[in-house]
Amino acid sequence: MKLLIRFILLFLPLSSFAQLPSSNFYNVDERAKYLPFSTPDSLARQLTFPYSKDIEKVRAIFRWITENISYNVKPLRKNNSPAKSFIMDDPADTAALKPLSERVAIDVLNRRLAFCDGYARLFSTLCAYAGIESEVITGYANGGLRRRGRFGSNHRWNAVRIDSSWYLLDATWASGHITFGTDDFIKSYNDFYFLTAPKAFARDHYPEDPRWTLLSELPVMNEFEYSPFKTHAFSKNNILSYTPQSGIIEASEGDTLRFEIVSRDPINPVFIIDSPYVDSAIIADNRAVDSTKQWSTAAGKKATITYIVTSSDIHWLNIICQDEYILRYKLNIRKNYTASNY
């Protein structure tokens, strides 16, 4: 009976689930700190078997991670670079190996240390074993350091599907914070980053794929005033410089805009997609239809692109290089007033 009681937690009513970001509806299960496990799948089973609802399972996974995993500050101290992203990509991720997320999850569980990538992949892996759909989201997170030229992908977090709806969370930021100057990690749970309301989450998180803002209108962060948004493919393609420097472009219908990209390596093709959303399918479609593309004149390592503003309905411009989206600009169209406007 005592064992059964230890496995049971009481939850507040879930009728106000949409307002959960401000509600710490149960404390971490102390039992979970001492669970014996050998693999991510065994941990996922032991964390979630007492619960029947996905929200309960997600909460158990999230709180175990935030209580038991610490942020790895050693590279921060060594490199003195708090803006370093520590985002992992594995081009050799093949069927001969376990999936990258699971390999990272195993390493994190063994070391009890992680970067943001490890937190996000561990959460996603445990959710997968619990039968819960989740995504690892790559993008920019503003940790209070508003530095010009650093507006690019530097962080990973998660989206999770609960009862047919998607929600956002960030296990890294919920687990604690890093002290200024000494780079010590202080474990201090912050419930704000569990199932955060999308508008509140967008104040300091900007995903590479803007669909993961979960907002009908894409947010414009203050950082756009200083720089276009740079995806992780920006560095991957060894981009050395770009113009315009500002991430916000003021223009009128009929204007011709000029962009320039310089890389360490030859770059071709380079073109613009003027859609708020960009993925591999959209890139392929734009390559296939010449009339819809704004192609560049590429000369080795330098590409110059001209773009004609044809509609006031266009608000975003995405630079595509080597079939990868590398830069995003916000386009503000000035109204051309005539007598009919008054």
Residues near 60 by Cβ (< 8 Å), separated by ≥ 6? 29, 32, 47, 48, 51
Report pLDDT digits (tens) over 6-55. 322 222 232 233 334 333 344 555 555 566 667 899 999 999 998 999 99
Q: How is residue 32 annotated by DSSP?
A: G
**Global confidence as pTM:** 0.83
Q: Which CATH class is domain 17-221?
A: alpha beta
Residues of the chain with CATH 3.10.620: 17-221
Q: Do the beta carbons of residue 21 and residue 196 sit within 8 Å?
A: yes
Strand partners, 305: 259, 296
Report pLDDT digits (tens) over 204-261. 999 999 999 999 999 999 999 999 999 999 999 999 999 999 999 999 999 999 999 9
Return mean pLDDT, the chain: 82
pLDDT range class, residue 179, cuts 50, 70, 90: confident
Q: Which CATH class is domain 228-334?
A: mainly beta
Rounded to 5°, the CA angle 46-51-57 comes to: 75
Model pLDDT, residue 35: 63
Rg (CA), the chain: 23
HSE-CB at 89 with a 13 A cutoff on CA atoms is 11
Report pLDDT digits (tens) over 262-285. 999 888 788 999 999 998 888 888
Q: How is residue 208 annotated by DSSP?
A: S
Rounded to 5°, the CA angle 160-162-167 comes to: 45
- Whole-angstrom Cα distance, residue 139 to residue 211? 12
Residues of the chain with CATH 2.60.40.10: 228-334
